[in-house]
Chain A
């Protein structure tokens, strides 16, 4: 009896060696295999030159995002069985420059993340490490969801604005900005909003929410962005137009 197999059509690109092509590989089919297992089979036993990123294979390190049959997906959580009988087309995440094969350049995101100051800002920061800052479970719940982002970049691949406005900070970084803005321990909201609302793109973001749909961790960046706009825009423009009203 012959083993069941499934065909992968994989995007190949080597910057030092010609333009992109698709390459087909036939891999064994197992109903508990994910797309990442199939890619590893290729790399291990068929073609060691295929490049892609992966590590934890349990949906938390955020390395293995790719387009699977046109949809941004975490390949460690995307089962072959949901794409039978195949073929399965695997491509690098869209909206990012491709470095090689399935590896994209995420340095743009790393810079955007840096811009939103994703850390607690305290006016009264002290060296007193004898006690924690208090935070009730209710206060924690306000931002908890936005703290679950694994930086997998699927939302950037899904975002219709990123495709048009290159320097749009984008869903994940804005959700993280909102995560800190909503943290009862933080005092840096104004500073972050100066960055957020000066950025092109946020006004083009609609309520469509493609980013939230593809998010594997249910972070709901679209919700964060709309919330930030509603809460923050009025305040931001008031300060911009009436600088004398700026709080000290």
Chain B
């Protein structure tokens, strides 16, 4: 289809070839790229990202990164914390590998210059985090993700094998002979479409919190990579599990890190009560008690349970009433100015800038906020998907080590452990593989060119992107929020079906090929509706409550029927939901016990 007169044409330029193509240049993508170099320095790597690497959302992670390094800790503890945190939906073989490789990967980051906070001895320091028996979170004050991302990016500059395609948006994958062999990408600066070919593609595009209205996620977290894989026939796994972080700033959704509670911050309702004691999370200790904060108890319970406790308090009328909805208070005043400034300075900066309060003298208003998406592209422990040549790592992937609820400070670790695994495996797999030539690829490239031309050529007066996005956000919050039931989810599925049709009628104000950010948004929203449908249908099908997926009509966990990963496949109609068994090695499903009654490793 030709654009109408006045709409400059998008042109195709040459085909670019690499051995390995990585889509997404945040923590996982950069680690994967360097793992390919380490594995085989003769390979060429194309690193494609819709933003400059240092803008990737890894930058916003605050609290830290888990790995067993101290003598008082043990691999068994990290494994147990992760599995019980996941409500037994994590694959235990993957968790074991993850825990075993974590220390080495974090030391690698240290050798690459990450400015970890230190003990006086010169060793890296660790702090407690939610759901942990032992403190094991490495941190760089409370800007850990920022430092990790910049250390990875800056280190990557020395490798000439890595060619960056900054501000290129991947629009679709290319497959031929049953293998993934590259992608089509739109260069923002010129509006040109490029054909990028490789024998392995690693998707590292991050999560999709932006399908919800109230999220800690930056605007770029639209789940683009999930849509790419889903449309190429790969299943999206465990999509119904969405993590609400218990402490976001009302209004903006800006994250106040769990490290604020790891350092001793407490949560209060409108009666000044530490209400978590009423939700099977143990007994509160006085803030001046040297044993406070207690690991795996009260404010250091897991995120799903804390966010659910808020909802109960809200229903009981014990939350504060604010301009941007109800909230509770996060009080860190007792830590004192010095400790706040050394351990959680970013918390002070953010609360001052965006909530207008100084946490040294006032409690911070907080409420649960969509933070992390456990579900994603189905991969094995090497990051490989069921489509040969296609890999995924990081938040966009679902290995799964996170199951029904991710443990705080496991996500940054996941980026490097599985980013490196995917990079190594891809490097080994591409050796000696020829790229297919012939009509199969040309056909796909032409179809993609036509899809984008059709979108740009739509007459004015169609649906507006922001309206579709607002309606999508509203539907997801109402239908698939912290508490769900059959009625809310069915309504959500129906709305999403309509939204899919409406999204096909989006028209653009912007006719320029150069930096057409509206075009990118239109392509993003198209994918967002698609993956939202997978989420809603998987949630509707799972008639139990587990971790972050809480069905008010099926309140109990149902191991007999649902100790399984959901697998959503794209069809022309509604997504098809299948199930795959969870891998259990040595930790049979048990109750999740938090508070002082919990024994070591659940024993």
A residues in contact (CB < 8 Å) with B: 14-17, 32, 43-45, 47-49, 51-63, 77, 99-101, 103, 106, 110, 113-114, 117-120, 122, 125, 129-137, 139-140, 143-144, 147-148, 150-151, 176, 180, 183, 185-186
Chain B 440-484 per-residue mask, 1 if CB under 8 angstroms from chain A, else 0: 000000000000000000000000111000000000000000000
Select from chain B the residue with minimum beta-carbon distance to A180: B113
Given contact pairs A56-B218, A63-B55, A134-B123, A51 touches B146 in the complex (Cβ within 8 A): no
Contact assessment for A135 and B122 in the assembled complex, using a CB-CB cutoff below 8 Å: yes
Given contact pairs A99-B514, A137-B120, A16 touches B110 in the complex (Cβ within 8 A): no
Given contact pairs A14-B512, A47-B509, A61-B55, A120 touches B112 in the complex (Cβ within 8 A): yes
Contact assessment for A106 and B52 in the assembled complex, using a CB-CB cutoff below 8 Å: yes
Contact assessment for A48 and B54 in the assembled complex, using a CB-CB cutoff below 8 Å: no
Chain A residues within an 8 Å CB radius of B150: 147
User: Per a CB cutoff under 8 Å, which of A55, A117, A133, A147 touches B110?
Assistant: A133
Contact assessment for A120 and B60 in the assembled complex, using a CB-CB cutoff below 8 Å: no
Query: A51-B515, A129-B104 known; 17 other A-B pairs, CB under 8 Å?
Result: A44-B466, A48-B509, A60-B60, A61-B60, A63-B55, A100-B512, A106-B52, A118-B157, A120-B111, A129-B107, A129-B108, A132-B110, A137-B120, A140-B117, A147-B150, A150-B146, A151-B52
Q: How many cross-chain pairs have Cβ atoms below 8 Å apart between A and B?
A: 166
Contact assessment for B220 and A51 in the assembled complex, using a CB-CB cutoff below 8 Å: no
Determine if B388 is an interface residue (Cβ-Cβ < 8 Å).
no
Contact assessment for B510 and A135 in the assembled complex, using a CB-CB cutoff below 8 Å: no
Q: How large is the interface on B (under 10, 10 to 19, 20 to 34, 35 or more residues)?
A: 35 or more
Determine if B387 is an interface residue (Cβ-Cβ < 8 Å).
no
Q: How far is the CB of B342 from chain A (nearest CB, A)?
A: 9
Select from chain B the residue with minimum beta-carbon distance to A131: B107
Contact assessment for A48 and B254 in the assembled complex, using a CB-CB cutoff below 8 Å: no
Contact assessment for A15 and B514 in the assembled complex, using a CB-CB cutoff below 8 Å: yes
Main secondary structure of the interface of A (DSSP, over half): loop
Chain B residues within an 8 Å CB radius of A118: 154, 157
Contact assessment for A183 and B157 in the assembled complex, using a CB-CB cutoff below 8 Å: no
Select from chain B the residue with minimum beta-carbon distance to A37: B252
B residues in contact (CB < 8 Å) with A: 8, 51-52, 54-57, 59-60, 104, 107-108, 110-113, 115-124, 143, 146-147, 150, 154-155, 157-158, 166, 189, 218-220, 251-252, 254-255, 346, 349-350, 353-354, 356, 464-466, 508-518
Contact sample, A vs B, 10 pairs, CB 8 Å cutoff: A53-B51, A58-B350, A60-B59, A63-B51, A63-B52, A63-B55, A120-B111, A130-B107, A136-B120, A136-B121
Expressed in whole angstroms, the Cα–Cα distance for A55 and B155 within the complex equals 23
Chain B residues within an 8 Å CB radius of A49: 508-512, 518
Contact assessment for B157 and A114 in the assembled complex, using a CB-CB cutoff below 8 Å: yes
Q: How far is the CB of A45 from chain B (nearest CB, A)?
A: 6
Expressed in whole angstroms, the Cα–Cα distance for A187 and B76 within the complex equals 38
Q: How far is the CB of B228 from chain A (nearest CB, A)?
A: 20
Given contact pairs A49-B511, A61-B60, A132-B107, A140 touches B115 in the complex (Cβ within 8 A): yes
Chain B residues within an 8 Å CB radius of A32: 251, 354, 356
Expressed in whole angstroms, the Cα–Cα distance for A118 and B147 within the complex equals 13
